[in-house]
Amino acid sequence: MLATCLYLLFLFAPIALLVMGSLGESWTNSLLPSGLTGRWYAELAADPSFQRAFLTSLKVVAATCILDMLIAVPLAYALHSTARRGVQAAARVVTLLPIATPELVLGFGFILVFSSDALPFIGSIWLLIAAHVVVTLPYLLNILLSDMTQLKLGDLERVAATLGAPFMSRFFDIVLPLVRHSLFAGLITVSAISIGEFQISNLIAGFLTRTYPITLLQAFYGATGFACAATVVLLVLAVTASAAGALTARAARTG
């Protein structure tokens, strides 16, 4: 019980301090801020650099989710349908490499490849989206593969095939409806990861394509209350996405 309480204190104390700092008038050389104000949030909403970064993050998240869905669904289905276990195992190892590889290494790799004269894409939003797809795709892919295995899609497809259902009918009438909950939950997980992604984005983003976390780091060189308010906004977005994903996954299990 004591260990649990200490863990919760360690987890929530920094968050509570951030919230208090975002509402405090001044916080200098003291444990807690003094005063009460909401002007930091007003300044944050009016700041053009944060407005641009917020919109950029939304564009990157939306494009990442769409591309992840278009890639992960057919790829997960192909991996699940293959009869060779060796192929499945090798494919899973390959797809998990972006998770196992430090993002700093991936970022330097992107710089080496896409800062050349042949591929001058460093700083473009499309390269930023591609990097987010590389980072987030394994999560969605493995969620779909686990759900397909649990639902025993192979057995359902074989039954449909014996009744004369063609491949496209089986895919759109059986596979997609059954994995829709896990797909939605996976996309929310992808959104939460993409919103908070910093390392690769910081290395390859241009001045006009900086995401919210990059601009957030720069805020800490200014007023503490402003930086706390910006951090709380990012935290709310990430927690909302994570909670929505958890609720969707729960609905999928009980529904």
> pLDDT tens digits, residue range 45-77?
888 888 899 899 989 999 999 999 999 998 888
Q: For the chain, what is the domain count? A: 1
> Could you tell me if residue 7 is inside a domain?
no
The 10s digit of each residue's pLDDT in 130-150 is 999 999 999 998 888 888 777
> Could you tell me if residue 179 is inside a domain?
yes
Instruction: DSSP for 107-147, please give it.
Output: HHHHHHHHBSSSSB-TB-HHHHHHHHHHHHHHHHHHHHHHH
Q: What is the mean pLDDT of residues 178-206?
A: 87
> Could you tell me if residue 89 is inside a domain?
yes
Q: Coil, strand or helix: which one is 162?
A: helix
Q: Is the pLDDT of residue 5 over 90?
A: no
> Could you tell me if residue 13 is inside a domain?
no
Q: Coil, strand or helix: which one is 34?
A: strand
pLDDT for 254: 58
Domain that holds residue 135: 43-252
Q: Is the pLDDT of residue 183 over 80?
A: yes
> Could you tell me if residue 94 is inside a domain?
yes
Distance between CA atoms of residues 33 and 107, nearest Å: 37
Q: Is the pLDDT of residue 81 over 80?
A: no
Model-level pTM?
Answer: 0.82
> Could you tell me if residue 34 is inside a domain?
no
Distance between CA atoms of residues 122 and 237, nearest Å: 27
Which position has the higher pLDDT, 171 or 243?
A: 171
Which position has the higher pLDDT, 104 or 166?
A: 104
pLDDT band at 251 (very low <50, low <70, confident <90, very high): low
Share above pLDDT 70 across residues of the chain, in percent, rounded to a whole number? 84
> Could you tell me if residue 6 is inside a domain?
no
Q: Give 99's contacts (C-beta < 8 A, 6+ positions apart).
A: 138, 139
> Could you tell me if residue 63 is inside a domain?
yes
> The CATH number of the domain where 202 resides is what?
1.10.3720.10
pLDDT for 126: 92
Look up tokens 């996976």; give the residue. 186
Q: What is the mean pLDDT of residues 79-88?
A: 67
